[in-house]
Amino acid sequence: MPGNTFGTAFRVTTFGESHGPAVGCVIDGCPPGLALDRAALQAALDRRRPGQSRLTTPRDEADQAEILSGLDLDSGRTLGTPIAILVRNQDQRSGSYAGWHRTYRPGHADFGYDAKYGLRAWQGGGRSSARETVARVAAGAVAEQLLRVRFPALRLTAWVERVHDTACGHLDPLAITRDEVDAHPTRCPDAAAAAAMEAAILAAKARGDSLGGHIRLLAQGLPPGLGDPVFDKLDALLAQAFLSLPACKGVEFGAGFAAAGLTGSEHNDRLQWREGRMDSASNRAGGILGGISVGTPIDLRLAFKPTATVLQPQASADDAGNNVELQAKGRHDPCVLPRAVPIVEAMAALVLCDAWLRQRGQVGDPWPGLAGPVASDRDP
């Protein structure tokens, strides 16, 4: 059973292996009439592109998006039909992987793919490569443009909060901008911490090692009422979205794991009407209660493991039943977090856009949550 489609109303199907001809996506369900900003779409791809700095893999990919369908040839607006986006693979150098055909890399999906399918695209990880996320970023850029038309106050910002043992210092999370995040190649908005993170990453790279860390994401400017009980709760679908990213090993919302250290009376965010909107002084729930957004910022944190490819000898196994030693080569990010930032934002945009359209389908738009105190005699 296939698993390459994400979303219910705004559905994205991605395709492509890292060393095949191309990666791409088909977006189905996009509302018609969006004047798609192709430059903004390309800019989103550029933010995740390899080769941006010494912190990222030197693999050189232009990652130029070609839109194959779904746009009005005259106006450039979306037609409501599927939008197919294609990005060719260029700088593939499969040679780097020569000899890995039969060997499973520790920390990688190689063995799992063989165990599952009986064969695998061994060059560069194939479908399990982070290269697949090009397609997600392209789709997420469309989703974000849609959200901005409907919710002009939207602010969707992720940043690197921690790399190995260096943490971002205290900043007001509600005020951080993408420009501030992008100001440093680490995508940590705290300049001092960013410098320390960069040094740590480069030191790890020099040792042939790699580092992991944490990413934080905030989504502001969205109405209450997003999310679909009971299995498609907003936090549940966000969790699926992020855990589907390569190297992501955990997610927490609001106080998250630390909520265990609080009592209920300490943890509960007190509700209060303020200027016709529901608000709360604290946001320990991370903006979601019972799986439905409450209008306060959606606040979450992700754990990324250190990059699996390390340029040191490692004990491993091959597909013939032998235990072997592996010496990796190839071009890899010593720390995926800087480039993961736009990917995380893209996945969030996909979930949020889908939640909006699902809500519009079932309840109409505007829905009760957009109009202050509810009116229970509203017709369907």
Assigned token pair, 305: 């493991």
Is residue 19 near a copy of itself by the rule CB under 8 A? yes
Three-state DSSP at 270 gives coil
Name beta bridge partners: 273.
Answer: 278
The answer to whether 158 contacts a copy of itself (rule: CB under 8 A) is no
| Total chain residues near a copy of itself (CB under 8 A) | 186
**Nearest-5° angle of CA 217, CA 218, CA 219?**
125
Nearer to a copy of itself, 171 or 259 (CB): 259
Q: Is the peptide bond before 366 cis (omega within 30 degrees of 0)?
A: yes
CB of 64 or CB of 322, closer to a copy of itself:
322
* Rounded least distance, CB 354 to a copy of itself, Å: 8
Beta bridge partners of 160: 215
Amino acid at 299: D
Measure the CA–CA gap between 192 and 198, rounded to whole angstroms: 10
- CA end-to-end distance (rounded Å), the chain: 35
**Is 297 among the residues that bind a copy of itself (CB under 8 A)?**
no
Query: If 0-12 CB within 10 Å is exposed, 13-18 middle and 19+ buried, where does residue 139 land?
Result: buried
Rule CB under 8 A: is residue 239 a binding residue for a copy of itself? yes
Q: Can residue 157 be called a binding residue for a copy of itself (CB under 8 A)? A: no
* Position 279, amino acid: D
Determine contact, residues 287/293, Cβ cutoff 8 Å.
Answer: yes
Interaction of residue 237 with a copy of itself, rule CB under 8 A = yes
Between 55 and 292, CB nearer to a copy of itself: 292
- Smallest distance from a copy of itself to CB 180, Å: 22
List the beta bridge partners of residue 231: none
Query: Is 42 an interacting residue with respect to a copy of itself (CB under 8 A)?
Result: no
Contact between 224 and a copy of itself per CB under 8 A: yes
d(CA 92, CA 78): 32
With contacts defined by CB under 8 A, name the span among 38-46, 168-176, 183-191, 251-259 that binds a copy of itself: 251-259
**Which of 262, 283, 281 lies closest to 272 in space, CA to CA?**
281
What burial letters (b/e) apply to 24-60, b meaning 16+ CB within 10 Å? Answer: bbbbbbbbeebebeeeebbebbebbbbeeeebbbebe
Q: According to the binding rule CB under 8 A, does residue 169 interact with a copy of itself? A: no
Query: Could you tell me which stretch among 54-62, 171-179, 182-190, 207-215 binds a copy of itself (CB under 8 A)?
Result: 207-215
Give least dist CB 125 to a copy of itself, A: 8
Is 64 an interacting residue with respect to a copy of itself (CB under 8 A)? no
Draw the binding track, 82-121, toward a copy of itself (x: CB under 8 A; -: no contact): xxx-x-------x------x--x-xxxx-xxxxxxxxxxx
CB closer to a copy of itself, 308 vs 344: 308
Q: Quote the least distance from Cβ 61 to a copy of itself, whole Å.
A: 16
Q: Which of residues 326-345 bind a copy of itself (CB under 8 A)?
A: none
Return the number of other C-beta atoms located less than 10 Å from residue 325's C-beta: 9
Q: How far apart are CA 136 and CA 347, in angstroms?
A: 7
Q: Which is nearer to a copy of itself, 53 or 272 (CB)?
A: 272
| Residue 177 beta carbon to a copy of itself: minimum distance, rounded to whole angstroms | 24
Residue 124 touches a copy of itself, criterion: CB under 8 A: no
For position 360 contacting a copy of itself by CB under 8 A, the verdict is yes
Among 149, 174, 191, 199, binds a copy of itself (CB under 8 A): 149
